[in-house]
Each structure stands twice: as C-alpha cells, then as structure tokens.
Amino acid sequence: MKQIRCDVAVIGAGTAGLSAYRAARAAGKHAVMIEGGPYGTTCARVGCMPSKLLIAAAEAAHALQVAPAFGVHPGDVRIDGAAVMERVKRERDRFVGFVVDNIEQLPAEDRIRGWARFTAPDRLQVDDHTEVQAERIVIATGSAPVIPEEWALAGPRVISSDAVFDWNELPRSVAVIGTGVIGLELGQALHRLGVRVALYARGDSIAQLADPDVLANAAQTLRAELDIRFQTQVVSVRADGLELALTTRDAAGNERQERYDYVLAAIGRAPNVQALALHLAGIERDRRGLPLYDHTTMQCGTSPIFIAGDANDELPLLPEAADQGRIAGHNAALYPDVQPGLRRTPLIIAFTEPQIATLGAGWRALCHSHGGRFAVGAVSFENQGRSRVMLQNHGMLRVYGEYGSGRFLGAEMIGPRAEHIGHLLAWAVQAGLTVSAMLDMPFYHPVVEEGVRTALRDLAEALKHPPPEQPQPCPDCTPGT
C-alpha cells in the first residue's frame, strides 16, 4: 500500500475540487487531489455545457418555426438528429479537453486516481492502493442523478441526463419525469428538435420558482408549447419490446399508459457522500447523512474537514461550486484560523424559453425572513414594447422590497432576456441598493429593461403603503408547492 502525507487532501477533481486544490496550493500548502471518475468536471462533461449546446440547436430550430410570423418563410425544415448530436459531443469534448489539459499540467504526484473513503478523521483510503494521511481534508465529491430502483428495473432505456449526451441520434419519443431545471431545459430542447416529449410533474412545480403568481404564469406560458402533465404520478415503468410502457396517475385518479423510447428521470440529484464512510470522519451530520458545515467558511463543525459544491446540496450550481471550493481550499490551508469567504447573492437561471431567473431572497425565503411583510411590484411582458417587437412577449417579473428601508430584496421571473435581467437585479441586491436608487439608473429605449423599470415603479408605489405591523400570511409558500 502506497503511503502519502500531505497538508490538504481534496476529494473530487470537479469544479469545487479544482478550486479548492488551487486555493490550498496558492496559500503555500502541499495539496493532493483524488479523483475516482473521469477527469473533465460534471459541468463540462454532462452538465452546463452539453445541455446548453443541445439548447442552442433547439433555439435554431425554433427560430425557423416562428419565422413565418415575421413574414419570413424558411421552406422545408429538416432536423438532422445525428448532426445535432455530433456537434453537441464535438463541442462538449472540446470543453472537456480544456479542463483535462489543465489538470494534466498539475504535478503528477498531486493527482491520485481512485475512490476515496475515510478510515479516520485525518486518513483516507483510495481504492486498495493508497493511504493518504492529511492534516486537512476538503470533500468536493459532487452529486449524481437519482433514478428510483423500481424504474431502473425496466432497463437501460430509463436514463438520467448523463445518457442524453451520449446519444448518436435523437430518439422519437421521451417521457421526462420532473419539471425541475433539468427536466424543463432538456424536455423543451428535445421537443423543439422534433422529439415527441411529455413532461410529468407530481405536483405543480416549475424549475426553482416559488412565487405563486410567477409559477402560475410560467405554467401557462410553458404549457402553451409543451405537453406538461401536472399533478401526475408515475405508477410504473416497464420494458415493452424496444420501448418503455409508462403508466401514470393524474390528480383525479385516472391511470394512463403511454409508450416511449426513453424515460428520462429528472427528479433531482443526490450528493455523493454515501461511499465516503463519513461515520469515520468524526463530523456531525444531518438526518440525510450530510455533514453540517458553516456556510461562510465551508468548515464542518470545528474540524479540519471542509465541504464544497454539489456535495453539500446547498445550491448545486457551477458558480457556487467554484466559490465554495475556493473558500474551502483557502480555509483548509489556514486551519485553524478560518475566515468567512465571499458568498455572493444567490442567482439561478434556467435556460428554458422564456428563461427563468430567481435571485436574492426568493419568495419562499422572504416568507420566512420577513413573515410575509414585504412589498411586491410586478410587470407582465405581454405588452412590453421590445418583447413584443421580438415576439417574445411572454412571462412576468415580480420584484420584492423591504418596507421602511426601501431596500431591494430579490425577484422571480419568467420572461425574455432573464439571464441578463437576473444578473442586473442580483448585482443590485448585492450592492444593497434601494428601489429608488435603482430607478435613478439609466434605462435605454426600446429595451426589455424598461419592463424592469415598470416593475420597480410598481414596487416603489407598494413600498409607500406598508401593511399593519402583524406578519402577513404567505398561503402559497407552504413546503412542497
């Protein structure tokens, strides 16, 4: 058995792990990085990048479909599924290649290949070949898609998002289970590329939205294009020849069986912590077995163990993995003198069309922190000038402000240019701007941001009329909606 001693051992060479390793080295420590799977990161291999590549192809197809409304007639449109997937994979491989090249430039002795697990709070076993004794450890093991065992029994056509990016062709039909970010992004992209898609939601949720008005608007907007079955449970998935037979039950109790080429489970991702033998790490864990940690230092209790990225299930997003990894690696190096790191204003963007953005304190968080006592402004994009010009006049934005201080708190939206508006508003939250200060900023014409101004004006008006002091109920933000 090979023995290695180091200052900092990082488990996982994804975005969080790479950030942590670099931060620990930059602080002058001897760090090693342990990776059991392929190099390249989830984001580049099977996450952000290939999904956006597929969406880009779908946007091209959709542009042709809506062109006649502008008087532009593209003629016969043919979608070459093999060519679509070839570009997705070729560009994906390019992104992965950059990451792998960077990793291969790191000192070979710092890179350990194999699966790590704790054998003591300061000791890791990597497969059956290496023992690592580390003064400090960063857990950056990411997450994996969840597929219920009873569905998986139906065979390899029950897939997660990972499998989509291995396709050589587009299938004829896919049932997407789950209307979270992955289900909606991939479901809509496949639909626009000519695949027969139905999306099944066990409740009424849409991506990360919680604001009841935005949710209702999003459901209506997306349903105008997509076959979304809300309040519908999966009863069973069975192999049926080369296809799958999916049986579902709707809210009225009606059962329905349909056949698909694939069933795509998009029902969430679970942190990769089960195989780490965390009971030997000497850290406190919650009911799900996840380590308890400080959100500003990423430290688990007072131990020399830190956790970053999807592994902690706080905000499983790429920019968060990078930030958390950097904080964890830096603090692992500084231990025991850990420091709070910069945690930015939360910003989540779903690349559906219309896009969905939430930022700052969302509806659900405000119902807790402000007991329902916050002001709301809104705009519909239906008659918003630039949105109509582009034929993208769908969706709405709701903005939130604090009575008294007039501080801008956050927003939820579905609508045009949400990826940019989300940034604009998240920066305003982080800068601590008041609603009136935001209205003093420049707004050009004709731009979608004029819609943001309308919502902010509405919010400024609402802020003038604070309700009585007692907390207002938030009937629509109960758990599970």
Ligand X SMILES: Cc1cc2nc3c(=O)[nH]c(=O)nc-3n(C[C@H](O)[C@H](O)[C@H](O)COP(=O)(O)OP(=O)(O)OC[C@H]3O[C@@H](n4cnc5c(N)ncnc54)[C@H](O)[C@@H]3O)c2cc1C
Ligand Y SMILES: NC(=O)c1ccc[n+]([C@@H]2O[C@H](COP(=O)([O-])OP(=O)(O)OC[C@H]3O[C@@H](n4cnc5c(N)ncnc54)[C@H](O)[C@@H]3O)[C@@H](O)[C@H]2O)c1
d(CA 442, CA 448): 13
Q: Does 183 bind ligand Y (CB under 6 A)?
A: yes
Residue given tokens 């069975």 in the structure block: 238
Q: E strands of 90-224, at which residues?
A: 111-113, 116-120, 123-126, 130-139, 143-145, 158-159, 173-177, 196-200
Which residue's CB is nearer to ligand Y, number 9 or number 54? 54
d(CA 381, CA 378): 10
> Is 379 within 8 Å of 429 (Cβ atoms)?
no
Q: Does 350 bind ligand Y (CB under 6 A)?
A: yes
The binder of ligand X chosen from 130, 179, 272, 387 (CB under 6 A): 272
Task: Say whether 89 counts as a known binding-site residue.
Answer: no
Q: Does 353 bind ligand Y (CB under 6 A)?
A: no
Which residue's CB is nearer to ligand Y, number 205 or number 384? 205
Which residue's CB is nearer to ligand X, number 359 or number 459? 359
Token output for 33: 């990085």
Determine the size of the site formed for ligand Y (CB under 6 A). 21
Q: Does 316 bind ligand Y (CB under 6 A)?
A: yes
Task: Say whether 289 counts as a known binding-site residue.
Answer: no
Q: Does 278 bind ligand X (CB under 6 A)?
A: no
The binder of ligand Y chosen from 17, 36, 40, 180 (CB under 6 A): 180
The span of 106-114, 171-179, 376-384, 471-479 binding ligand Y (CB under 6 A) equals 171-179
Q: Which of 182, 228, 211, 230 minimizes the C-alpha distance to 396?
A: 211
Q: Does 269 bind ligand Y (CB under 6 A)?
A: yes
Backbone angles phi, psi at 240, to 5 degrees: -140, 90
445 is catalytic: yes
d(CA 364, CA 144): 26
> Is 395 within 8 Å of 413 (Cβ atoms)?
yes
Please pick, among 30, 191, 370, 445, the residue that the annotation labels catalytic: 445
Residue given tokens 């209205």 in the structure block: 439
Q: Does 425 bind ligand X (CB under 6 A)?
A: no
Q: For residue 21, give the amino acid letter.
A: Y
Task: Say whether 268 counts as a known binding-site residue.
Answer: yes
Which residue's CB is nearer to ligand Y, number 269 or number 407? 269
> Which positions from 142 through 171 interact with ligand X, judged by CB under 6 A?
142, 161
> Is 210 within 8 Å of 411 (Cβ atoms)?
no
Which residue's CB is nearer to ligand Y, number 318 or number 433? 318
d(CA 174, CA 262): 5
Task: Say whether 178 counts as a known binding-site residue.
Answer: yes
Q: Does 268 bind ligand X (CB under 6 A)?
A: no
The binder of ligand X chosen from 6, 10, 16, 201 (CB under 6 A): 16
Whole-Å CA distances, 225 to 175, 220, 289, 318:
16, 9, 40, 29
Q: Does 290 bind ligand X (CB under 6 A)?
A: no
* Least spacing, CB of residue 406 vs ligand Y, in Å: 30
Nearby residues of 13 by Cβ (< 8 Å), 6 or more positions away: 21, 33, 34, 35, 39, 41, 103, 111
The binder of ligand Y chosen from 34, 170, 182, 413 (CB under 6 A): 182
Q: Does 411 bind ligand X (CB under 6 A)?
A: no
Going 415 to 170 to 51 to 182, the CA torsion angle's sign is positive
Q: E strands of 170-268, at which residues?
A: 173-177, 196-200, 227-229, 233-240, 243-249, 255-260, 262-265
The binder of ligand Y chosen from 267, 276, 361, 396 (CB under 6 A): 267
Q: Does 351 bind ligand Y (CB under 6 A)?
A: yes
Q: For residue 258, give the amino acid letter.
A: E
Q: Does 181 bind ligand Y (CB under 6 A)?
A: yes
d(CA 195, CA 262): 11
* Least spacing, CB of residue 312 vs ligand Y, in Å: 12
The residue with its CB nearest to ligand Y is 180
The binder of ligand Y chosen from 178, 325, 354, 401 (CB under 6 A): 178
- Enzyme catalytic residues: 445
Instruction: Detail the residues annotated as belonging to a binding site.
Output: 52, 141-143, 178-185, 268, 310
Per CB under 6 A, residues contacting ligand X are: 11-17, 34-37, 41-43, 46-48, 51, 115-116, 140-142, 161, 182, 272, 275-276, 309-311, 316-319, 321
Kindly list the residues in this chain that would bind ligand Y in the complex (CB under 6 A): 177-183, 185, 202-203, 205, 234, 266-269, 316-317, 349-351
